[in-house]
Amino acid sequence: MSAPAVLWSAAEVLAATGGRGPADWRATGVSIDSRSLKPGELFFAVRGVRTDGHLFVAKAFEAGAAAAVVQRPVENLAGGRALVWVADTLAALNALAAAARARTRARIVAVTGSVGKTGTKEALALALGRFGPTHANPGSFNNQWGVPLSLARIPVEAAFGVFEMGMNHAGEIEPLSRLARPDVAVITAVEPVHLGHFASVDEIADAKAEIFAGLAPGGAAVLDRDNPHFARLAAAARARGVARVIGFGESPDAEARLVACHAESAASTVSAIVGAQPLGFRLNLAGRHWARNSLAVLAAVLALGLDVEAAAAALSAWQAGAGRGRRHRIALAGGGHVTLIDESYNASPAAVRAALAVLGSAQPGRNGRRILVLGDMLELGEAGPALHAGLAEAVATNRVDMVFTAGPLCAHLFAALAPDRRGAHAETAEALAPLVVAALAPGDVVAVKGSAGLRMGTIVRAILGAAPAPAAVNGEGA
């Protein structure tokens, strides 16, 4: 097995960051977490919200760090360690990311949106991988730490880079876009998310439109043609000098147009026209929202001038991530199986409605039920209670048999449900978990979803723990 390639030399790091230190080391990667650091990587002691990376410099070296970037003295550190001294470690990380962007020849796609951005980013990385080495930020490394870290990691030989950018306040995406300088900017959707920090959905659209701030000359914007904020976003793009706006969706005006989507229990067959090219392809993901996201991917491929048919074929390997719709077939201790749809990573009104549509299309086993387990959707401000109660209609429309809820906001949904659909309500996921597990019966299909703050993964783990031999299968998410 060959040794990892050198990503950064000491001289390059010192020049990019303006730091002081020895120049006799090489780094094969970049890290801000001593727990996941691999031998040979460069460690940045960044101050986070809850802790300070300087407290873990010694652990980083114990894990094999090649060097560490610091802004203050580090206690209990053995001698002979390579330290790069800077005024501000986060600013230095951004400077290294800017140097990475300056040296790479990769074509960059940036992705944001109220829902679907992580899945779309993963699908883009999969599709662009057909055309050359592709680098993407892992998981949801989409904030003021994750984007510069991911950009600093881009290999020299990369042909494409895909970077997700998230926000929950105005002004957070613009600096990320200016750092990444994308060739294509994708906004998957604008929905009533983070209303606790915004006065209106229009303001959310404006915050998402910050992604156009760093768009490279000649770059393109990819937008949901069916979204009510399309015109607002398109105008914002043109105001930033963006010459080409590509719409995706079901509108006849969309350049990447969804013609038909046949959703099966765990897959979808898609017919589309991208540019002038008719396409037919299959996704191992159920749900119209996944078909729409695939059109966003193909619109970005079109913007890059690549073969959309080859990209569509690549999407057949697209799989749901952990907590984002991954499916598990679980053998119950007393016999029989249940199907778990793990949507526990996060939640918003649009994403919950999409998850309900997927649950509605699922086929329970004999005598099985469709069960929703939902935790509070957070950051919705004063609209929170009404947005939760308003989901009751979608529960009924999608033939959900039983609903379990966790959190004070979800109590409004629980009260709005027909009595025969009420499973149980609890204030926390921890309290709800045993009630859900006790209610499961052979043939059930259960979807678990909720905002990250509700820790709905607790319920997923409880359901998996109730089985002697769970096995992940193809899945879908929102």
Please report, as a single letter, which amino acid is at residue 308: V
Does residue 477 register a pLDDT over 60? no
Which residue reads 């921890």 in tokens?
430
Q: What's the rounded mean pLDDT across residues 211-230? A: 97
Contact 120, 113 (CB under 8 A): yes
Cα–Cα dist 276/223, whole Å: 18
pLDDT score at 309: 97
> 289: exposed, middle or buried (C-beta count within 10 Å: 0-12, 13-18, 19+)?
buried
Please report, as a single letter, which amino acid is at residue 80: G
Cα–Cα dist 233/202, whole Å: 10
pLDDT score at 265: 75
**Residue 1: pLDDT band with limits 50, 70, 90:** low
CATH code given to domain 8-90: 3.40.1390.10
Determine how many CB atoms are found less than 10 A away from the CB of residue 382: 8
Q: What's the rounded mean pLDDT across residues 331-352? A: 91
pLDDT score at 205: 96
Give the pair of three-digit tokens for residue 271: 């017919």
Q: What's the rounded mean pLDDT across residues 85-105? A: 98
pLDDT score at 237: 98
Categorise residue 203: left if φ over 0, alpha if ψ from -120 to 50, beta otherwise: alpha
Determine how many CB atoms are found less than 10 A away from the CB of residue 432: 28
- Tens digits of residue pLDDT in 165-192: 999 899 999 999 999 999 999 999 999 8
Domain ranges of the chain: 8-90, 104-317, 326-473
Contact 449, 436 (CB under 8 A): no
Give the pair of three-digit tokens for residue 290: 């996944």
**Residue 2: pLDDT band with limits 50, 70, 90:** confident
- Tens digits of residue pLDDT in 62-94: 999 999 999 999 988 988 899 999 999 999 999
Q: 244-249 and 184-187 as β-strands: parallel, antiparallel, unpaired?
A: unpaired
**Close Cβ partners of 89 (under 8 Å, ≥ 6 residues apart):** 44, 45, 46, 47, 53, 69, 70, 71
Cα–Cα dist 93/42, whole Å: 11
- Tens digits of residue pLDDT in 315-328: 999 988 888 889 99
Please report, as a single letter, which amino acid is at residue 187: I
Does residue 460 register a pLDDT over 50? yes
Contact 402, 374 (CB under 8 A): no
Cα–Cα dist 424/406, whole Å: 9
**What CATH architecture is 104-317?**
3-Layer(aba) Sandwich (3.40)
- Give the highest mean pLDDT range of 35-44, 260-269, 345-354: 35-44
**Close Cβ partners of 437 (under 8 Å, ≥ 6 residues apart):** 462, 463, 466
Does residue 475 register a pLDDT over 80? no
Please report, as a single letter, which amino acid is at residue 116: G
**Residue 197: pLDDT band with limits 50, 70, 90:** confident
> 102: exposed, middle or buried (C-beta count within 10 Å: 0-12, 13-18, 19+)?
exposed
How is domain 326-473 classified at the CATH fold level? Protein-Tyrosine Phosphatase; Chain A (3.90.190)
Which residue reads 């193809």 in tokens?
474
Determine how many CB atoms are found less than 10 A away from the CB of residue 324: 23
pLDDT score at 225: 98
Q: How far is CA 15 from the centre of its chain?
A: 33
Q: What's the rounded mean pLDDT across residues 252-259? A: 97
Cα–Cα dist 21/154, whole Å: 24
pLDDT score at 463: 94
**Close Cβ partners of 442 (under 8 Å, ≥ 6 residues apart):** 332, 335, 336, 337, 338, 365, 366, 367, 368
Q: What's the rounded mean pLDDT across residues 130-154? A: 94
Does residue 286 register a pLDDT over 90? no
Cα–Cα dist 368/390, whole Å: 26
Secondary structure in 3-state letters for the chain: CCCCCCCEEHHHHHHHHCCECCCCCEECEEECCCCCCCCCEEEECCECCCCEHHHHHHHHHHCCCCEEEECCCCCCCCCCCCEEECCCHHHHHHHHHHHHHHHCCCEEEEEECCCCHHHHHHHHHHHHCCCCCEEECCCCCCCCCHHHHHHHCCCCCCCEEEEECCCCCCCCHHHHHHHHCCCEEEECCCCCCCCCCCCCHHHHHHHHHHHHHHCCCCCEEEEECCCCCHHHHHHHHHHCCCCEEEEEECCCCCCEEEEEEEECCCCEEEEEEECCEEEEEEECCCCHHHHHHHHHHHHHHHHCCCCHHHHHHHHHHCCCCCCCCEEEEEECCCCCEEEEEEECCCCCHHHHHHHHHHHHHCCCCCCCCEEEEEECCCCCHHHHHHHHHCCHHHHHHCCCCEEEEECCCHHHHHHHCCHHHEEEEECCHHHHHHHHHHHCCCCCEEEEECCHHHCCHHHHHHHHHCCCCCEEECCCCC
Nearest to 344 by CA among 329, 327, 332: 327
Does residue 338 register a pLDDT over 80? yes
Does residue 137 register a pLDDT over 90? yes
**Residue 95: pLDDT band with limits 50, 70, 90:** very high
pLDDT score at 476: 30
